[in-house]
Structure 1
Amino acid sequence: MTAPTQPPPDLVRLVRQLQGRQALQVLAQLAADRHLEVYLVGGVVRELGRGRQAPDLDLAVNRHALELAAALADQLGGTFVLLDERERTARVVWQGENLDFAEFRAPDLVTDLHKRDFTINAMAISLIPLMRAGQLEWLDPWGGREDLEAGRVQILAAENFHDDPLRMLRAFRFAATHGLTLTADTWAAICKYRQEFRRVAGERIHQELFHLLGVERTFPTLVQMDQAGLLGQIFPELEDLKGVEQNGYHHLDVFQHSMLAVDCLEQILLHPQDWFGDLGRVITDYARRDSKAVLLKLAALFHDLGKPQTQERRDDPERFTFYHHERLGAELFTQIAWRLRFSQEELRTVVRLIELHMRPFLLLPIFRQGELTLRALGRLVKAARPVLPGLFALAMADSLAGQGLLKPADAEAWLADFCAAAYQFLTERLEPMEHRPRLISGDDLIQEFHLTPGPQFRQLLEAVEEACLEGRISTRQQALDLVKKLL
């Protein structure tokens, strides 16, 4: 085995924190009693090399990994989770900590480390000397620390991508999350094995993809993934967007426009006040919830997915139409979401954004002329209510990504004003109305008009609600008169 290298001096504090973790103290004693070799590996060692503490722990054990994990869970009163009996992997969950155990996949540690994905993840720290004597035996047989310090993602062996094609996406994810650059060897290996990516299970892609898109600036990485041919392996549907011409509002084909929309969206999310003024805080608050920023980026990337199949040329040879492309795009994205095991909430959010992304643009000319009715504005706000901040952020990105000659120079300014009008409607009309009793209810329809419950109930009550929002009625009697008129 390669001799341990000396740790960087600034690791002392972080190492002391590791020594103070009770789970590791108990584990070291259990391993020593059983004469087992246990090593901290993977992310925890990589993050130590970056001067950071990793919340979860990856551990490699020379033998009896499952039994050791079960003993630790029993000793701590934690939960033992068998991950893969054939691969000899398990997890112990205790007080919010995850300790992942894996048995050596080779006769010795060095060979086991070589089976990992990248040099930056092929470093190890021997646990027992660390916990018992404070000795930090930093094992780095493949130059991971040097690559980490140089900002490189270096594949250990090209065939490792064949063993697990997900590692190709992980290479780009590490580049994005850690500010690293893929080496020529890593890039060449991705180009060689990229077609095998389709073997990867959807739920695994989902997890890595969300990590990647969670970075503030994903666009440069997406461009690199496309250049390497990996983006099209993950999303074959995007290949259909390439070369699809658009009308005079655009200067790029559908694919390049969609990619640029992601770039513009990320810039908006970083500085929303530059486009929305004081309402920028609403955009920020929305993007911080759950995975909303990630879902917004997906909506930007796929918002025009339906255009290739709906493209029609008009009399003017340079003009095209894409009627109802948003509906087809939502259907096509639903298939992608099913394939990648999106949750129902994730699917609903992106589909709603895609379905509605044209609505602001269809209403904007009427708004500019001062002729937009409260009814039309209210219908937009209610339809987009759960994603309203995201919809306007997406619309702004869509507008910025289209710089054709027919596009008005002040389009973004008017779009910001439209957003302000929508929020004024929301805060001054819709929300106050929701906090006061309805003017009439279903019981009133039964008692006053002798109606029986059914679809007509909803239609009548919605008509009353719309009239109230528009300020046309404000009393119970006016509501009853409206129903009488509608009947």
Structure 2
Amino acid sequence: MSEVSAPHAADRRELTAAQRNAVAELLRVSPVADELGRRFVRAGHELHLVGGSVRDALLGRLGDDLDFCTDAHPDETLRIIKGWAESIWETGREFGTIGAQRAGLRLEITTFRAESYDQVSRNPVVVYGTSLEEDLKRRDFTVNAMAVSLPEHRFTDPHGGLDDISAKVIRTPSTPRESFGDDPLRMLRAARFAAQLGFAVHPDAHRAMGEMSADLDRITAERIRDEFTKLLCGADPITGLRLLVDTGLAERFLPELTGLKLEIDEHAQHKDVYEHTLTVVENAVSFEEEGCDFILRMAALMHDVGKPATKAVGSDGRVSFHHHEVVGARLTKARMKAMRYPKEITAKVTALVALHLRFYGYGRGEWTDSAVRRYVADAGDLLPRLHKLTRSDCTTRNRRKAAQLAADYDALEDRIARIAAEEDLARVRPDLDGNAIMELLGVPPGPVVGRAWKHLKEQRLEQGPLDRDAAEAELLRWARAEGLIS
């Protein structure tokens, strides 16, 4: 990691442009923010735009979610905004936060905090503070420890956050050990901000992350999951992932990623599986059409995690990883379950990992139309993502081989399109439904109907669509073979 130096004159000129962006951004929201500020002042309280809202304004990327802090306690905040806010929610009340909506903006107003941690518990103990300075000092990073007081627009930056934005550096207001000791999740958040903002982590913070990585074990799986998801969905997830591995943080909650550094990819001898995986993630990001596709990115990250357990060296010295997609799918499911990801998301990522090798061999001309139907049926609604993952997995530097793989996949997609035009590949179902099966066989609902349905689906995959007469004849043939009819 490169050392962080003081801003140069050119950086100062860029910062001036950033400040101009901030003025434009703040003017956009100031009618609501200033109006809210005046209400708090009239009630004898302070109000400050703070944290990520100020940072994002300086970066010219302020959204519609605004964060404020105040010396007013939640009950008083509710009294001040009642009748003014279009809607109010109190889901964060135990942490001193009241939410509101006004003119299309979502506002979160939090009482000054001076929260402390007992160094053992997994959640902060919220203690209300008495000053803006105290509140800013307890924040995670200097770039998030700036405030704009309302309605007078006074700028407060006691920890040099403005300079750190100019230098594009992530630094803690207090010492890194003190800050990370208070909340170890901040180490993961540092990697997340590196991925989102393109900033470098200050060497002191980087060093502390490595020394204190085991402290992450104090944090709940849900909090880790949420930070990791934001990291993987950052503009530059590769930087964030490298930080996790280099500091040992990945070993605490995603050891499969670190384990990839030990394996050599037989398809790309010039790089190990870890480097190959990062390239696949990068490729997957480039295939996204709109916003972050977490399922695709996570599948790209996990697609080869089965290789360490399946590595074998043949008598000819060649390395192989037979069935690593099967092992990888199992490991992916277990890891995502441990991280408390929803079952539906886990199932989709796991399915992509299991299917990512299916394409290889297509170029040898071994696939029948039946194989293509099964490929489409097994992928289901994941087919567009499987296309992207498979293409992303081609990282060879051999241009001829890369071109051949791309041409083969082009041919497969063309073939899928041709068959889809002739058949309803999006919904491969038997040519007879359950009611027709029961009527023809004279059986009630039950296991026999399910077995018959499954058999007809297999025939549909093998032969393509059957007309009604052919489908009925096949059902009766199967029933006789099963001894269900004479």
TM-score, normalising length: structure 2: 0.81
CA contact (8 A) 1:63 1:103 kept: yes
CA contact (8 A) 1:249 1:404 kept: no
Q: How big is each residue's C-alpha offset from its partner over 1:351-405, in whole Å with a ceiling of 9 and x where there is no partner? A: 11112122222xx2xx3343422222111101101111111221222232x5699
| Residue matched to 1:296 | 296
In the TM superposition, residue 206 of structure 1 has moved relative to its aligned partner by 2.4
- Distance in 2 of aligned mates of 1:249 and 1:146: 43
- SS of alignment partner, residue 98 of structure 1: strand
* Matching residue's letter, 2:89: F
* 2:435 equivalent among 416, 425, 443: 443
| Residue matched to 1:478 | 470
- Tell me which moved more, 469-478 or 217-226: 469-478
- Distance in 2 of aligned mates of 1:175 and 1:304: 25
Q: How big is each residue's C-alpha offset from its partner over 1:56-99, in whole Å with a ceiling of 9 and x where there is no partner? A: 121111242443145424543522314253x4333335575432
Distance 1:368 1:52, change over 3 A: closer
- Tell me which moved more, 193-202 or 453-462: 453-462
Which structure 2 segments of 5+ residues have no match? 1-15, 115-128, 480-486
In the TM superposition, residue 410 of structure 1 has moved relative to its aligned partner by 2.2
CA contact (8 A) 1:41 1:122 kept: yes
- SS of alignment partner, residue 59 of structure 1: strand
- Distance in 2 of aligned mates of 1:357 and 1:184: 38
CA contact (8 A) 1:79 1:94 kept: no
- SS of alignment partner, residue 440 of structure 1: coil
| Residue matched to 1:47 | 56
Distance 1:466 1:318, change over 3 A: closer
* 1:180 equivalent among 196, 199, 210: 199
In the TM superposition, residue 137 of structure 1 has moved relative to its aligned partner by 0.6
- Distance in 2 of aligned mates of 1:70 and 1:429: 63
| Residue matched to 1:115 | 138
- Distance in 1 of aligned mates of 2:217 and 2:307: 25
- SS of alignment partner, residue 36 of structure 1: coil
| Residue matched to 2:29 | 18
- Distance in 2 of aligned mates of 1:90 and 1:412: 53
CA contact (8 A) 1:78 1:94 kept: yes
Distance 1:433 1:235, change over 3 A: closer
1:78 aligned onto 2:87:
yes
Distance 1:75 1:223, change over 3 A: same
* Matching residue's letter, 2:187: M
In the TM superposition, residue 407 of structure 1 has moved relative to its aligned partner by 7.1
* Matching residue's letter, 1:101: I
- SS of alignment partner, residue 90 of structure 1: strand
| Residue matched to 2:169 | 152
Q: How big is each residue's C-alpha offset from its partner over 1:297-335, in whole Å with a ceiling of 9 and x where there is no partner? A: 111111122232333443334333433x32332222222
In the TM superposition, residue 208 of structure 1 has moved relative to its aligned partner by 2.2
Q: How big is each residue's C-alpha offset from its partner over 1:116-170, in whole Å with a ceiling of 9 and x where there is no partner? A: 111111111112xx2xxxx321111222112212222222121111111222222
Q: How big is each residue's C-alpha offset from its partner over 1:418-474, in whole Å with a ceiling of 9 and x where there is no partner? A: 23323433344224877xx97433333333333343344234334434545665664
- SS of alignment partner, residue 410 of structure 1: helix
* Matching residue's letter, 1:119: T
- Distance in 1 of aligned mates of 2:64 and 2:464: 57
- Distance in 2 of aligned mates of 1:248 and 1:88: 54
| Residue matched to 1:103 | 111
The within-5 A match list for 1:446-457 is 446-457=438-449
| Residue matched to 1:413 | 407
CA contact (8 A) 1:40 1:125 kept: yes
* 1:167 equivalent among 166, 186, 192: 186
| Residue matched to 2:279 | 260
1:343 aligned onto 2:342:
yes
- SS of alignment partner, residue 99 of structure 1: strand
- Distance in 1 of aligned mates of 2:365 and 2:37: 73
| Residue matched to 1:275 | none
* Matching residue's letter, 2:347: R
- Distance in 2 of aligned mates of 1:390 and 1:186: 37
Distance 1:417 1:473, change over 3 A: closer
CA contact (8 A) 1:306 1:328 kept: yes
| Residue matched to 1:61 | 70
- Distance in 2 of aligned mates of 1:355 and 1:432: 20
The within-5 A match list for 1:246-325 is 246-247=265-266, 250-267=269-286, 269=287, 284=289, 288=290, 293-323=293-323, 325=324
CA contact (8 A) 2:206 2:247 kept: yes
- Distance in 2 of aligned mates of 1:310 and 1:144: 48
The within-5 A match list for 1:306-385 is 306-323=306-323, 325-361=324-360, 364=361, 367-385=362-380
Distance 1:312 1:67, change over 3 A: same
Distance 1:69 1:203, change over 3 A: farther
- SS of alignment partner, residue 91 of structure 1: strand
| Residue matched to 2:119 | none
| Residue matched to 2:230 | 211
Distance 1:419 1:321, change over 3 A: same
CA contact (8 A) 1:93 1:99 kept: yes
- Distance in 1 of aligned mates of 2:73 and 2:254: 40
- Distance in 1 of aligned mates of 2:153 and 2:42: 20
Q: How big is each residue's C-alpha offset from its partner over 1:199-258, in whole Å with a ceiling of 9 and x where there is no partner? A: 222222222222222234322332233223333334123233331345466544333332
Distance 1:66 1:335, change over 3 A: farther
Distance 1:378 1:455, change over 3 A: farther
- Distance in 1 of aligned mates of 2:455 and 2:315: 41
CA contact (8 A) 2:430 2:453 kept: no
- Distance in 2 of aligned mates of 1:473 and 1:64: 68
Distance 1:316 1:69, change over 3 A: farther
- Larger RCO (CA within 8 A; separation ≥ 6): 1
CA contact (8 A) 1:43 1:54 kept: no
* Matching residue's letter, 2:310: T
| Residue matched to 2:214 | 195
* 1:231 equivalent among 233, 250, 263: 250
- Distance in 1 of aligned mates of 2:48 and 2:208: 29
